[in-house]
Amino acid sequence: MLEVMARADGPIPLDVAFRVAPGQVLALVGPSGSGKTTILRVIAGLWHPSVARVAVGDEIWLDSAKAVKYPTYRRRVGMVFQNYALFPHMSAAQNVMAAMDRADPGEARRILDLVNLQGLADRKPAQLSGGQQQRVAVARALARRPQVLLLDEPFSAVDRATREKLYGEIIALRAHLAMPVVLVTHDMNEAQMLADQIVLIDKGRVLRQGSTAEVMSDPVALRAMGIRELATLLPATIVAHEDDGLTRLMTAGGPLFLPLVAADPGSAVRVRIMAHEVILSRARPEGLSAQNILPGVVVRIVAGQGPAVMVHIAIGGDEIVARITRRAADQMALAPGDPVHAILKTMSVARDHIAR
C-alpha cells in the first residue's frame, strides 16, 4: 500500500493525499502546471515539500513531522520519465542493468522480452524509435524491482498509432505488476482506460478522487477538466469480424458494431462511450443509420448547471451515461425506471477508445 500526503505553499502549491493498493493503478489527471508531475517527484524523492509523508508498506520514505527522509537512490522506486531519460552512452540492455542491484544480462534480456523489445538489446537509445525507447524506460523501471512504479506522461511523446499499441501492452503488463502504480497524464481517455483510481488535480488541489467510474461520471469535477470528457466504459466480448470491415461484439444489452477491432474473437474488451455521443429514444427507432441500439433502463438523471443533463442508464448489469439537453429530457418526460434505448453511431467510437 502506497500512502502519499503532500502540502506546500510554493513555488508550486500542493495539497493532496491518496492511497494506492498493490496492483492498482492510480491516475493523476490535470492540466499542465497542475502539480501532478511534482507529486510524482515527491514520491520519488526528487523534491521535498514542507509538509509531506510517503509510506510504502512498512517503510516510511518521507515524513516531515519525524524528519525522516530517504534519498532517492535508497527508495525502491521505478520511474519512467516523460522524456525517458535513457542513458545515451549505454545500450538498451545496459540501461536496464543499470537499475539492477547486480547486473544480470540474462535477466535484462528477459525483461526486454517482456516489453516486446526482443533483438534490440544491444542498440543505443539513439538507434531506437520513440515507442521502443519508452519500452526500454519501462523495462529499466521494472528492473529495479520497485515497490512503487511511477509513470510520468509516458505516452505523450509518441504518435497516436504507437500509443494505442502501448496501451494494450501496459494493460497486459499489469498482470505482472504486484505493486502500486501511479500514472500522470493529461489525457482523460488514457486515465479511464488504464486506471482503477483517478485523482483530478488543478493548481495543486484535488478536485475529485475516487474510482474511475465514479470520477468519470461526475459532471462537477469534469467541468474543470472539460465536460466533453465524460464517458463510461462498457464491457463487451468480440464475437466475429465481419466482411465489410466491422467487428461484431456482444454487450449485456445486445450486439454492438464497431470498426474493425484488432483482437481475436472471444476476447473481452472495454469500450469507452462518450456521453455526448449517445442519443436516447423511448421507442426502438426504425430506418436509422446507426447500427448500435441498446435497450436499457434509466437509473438516475443528474442535472448540471448548463443546458444539459446526465442520464445514467443500466445496460444489463453495466451502466453508461448519456448527455442530452434538459429540454429533450423534459420533452421525453424521462424518469428513473423508464425503459429507454441508447443509440450509438459505430463511427463515433475511436480506435484508442477500445481496450482489453
Partner 1 sequence: MPVSRFRRFVLAAALACGMLGAPVVAQDDVPVIAAASDLQFAVTEIAAAFTAETGMDLRLSFGSTGNFARQIRAGAPFEIFMAADEHFIADLHAEGLTKDSGDLYGMGRIVVMVPHGSALIPDEGLDNLAALLAAGGITRFAIANPDHAPYGMRAREALITRGIWDDLQPFMVLGENVSQAAQFALSGNAEGGMIAYALALAPEVAARGRFALIPAEWHDPLRQRMVLLHNAGPVAEAFYEYLQTPAARAIMTRYGFDLPEGE
Partner 2 sequence: MDWTALWLSLRLAGWTVVILLPVAIVMGRFLAYRRFRGKGLVEAFVMLPLVLPPTVFGFYLLVAFGRNSPLGDLWQGLFGQQLVFSFQGLVVASVIFNLPFAIQPAQRGFEAVAVELREAASCCGMSPLRSLWQVELPLAWPGVLTAMVLSFAHTLGEFGIVLMVGGSIPGETRTIAISIYDSVQGFDDRGAAIMSAVLVAFSLFAIAVTFWLSARVGRRLS
**List of residues contacting partner 2 (CB under 8 A):** 44-46, 71-74, 76-79, 81, 83, 85-89, 98-99, 101, 140-141, 144
Q: Annotate each residue in 47-86 with x if it binds partner 1 (CB under 8 A) or - if it does not, as one string.
A: ----------------------------------------
Q: What angle do CA 313, 221, 207 make, to 5 degrees?
A: 145
Spell out the SS3 assignment of 21-73.
Answer: CCCCEEEEECCCCCCHHHHHHHHHCCCCCCEEEEEECCEEEEECCCCEECCHH
Q: Which residue, 83 or 129, has its beta carbon nearer to partner 2?
A: 83
Helix (H) or strand (E) holding 201: strand 197-202
In the list partner 2, partner 1, none, the entry touching 34 (Cβ below 5 to 8 angstroms by class) is: none
In the list partner 1, partner 2, none, the entry touching 88 (Cβ below 5 to 8 angstroms by class) is: partner 2
Q: Which of 89, 102, 178, 266 binds partner 1 (CB under 8 A)?
A: 89
Gap between the Cα atoms of 272 and 302, Å rounded: 20
Q: Which residue, 16 or 142, has its beta carbon nearer to partner 2?
A: 142
Q: Which residue, 43 or 143, has its beta carbon nearer to partner 1?
A: 143
Gap between the Cα atoms of 303 and 323, Å rounded: 10
Supply the minimum distance, in Å, between the C-beta of residue 93 and partner 1: 12
Stretch that binds partner 1, among 89-97, 106-114, 248-256, 288-296 (CB under 8 A): 89-97
Nearest CA-CA partner of 65 in 106, 18, 5: 5
State yes or no: residue 100 binds partner 1 (CB under 8 A): no
Gap between the Cα atoms of 131 and 58, Å rounded: 36
# chain residues binding partner 1, by CB under 8 A = 3
**Pair 318, 251: CB distance under 8 Å:** yes
288 forms beta bridges with none
Which chain residues interact with partner 1 by CB under 8 A? 89-90, 94
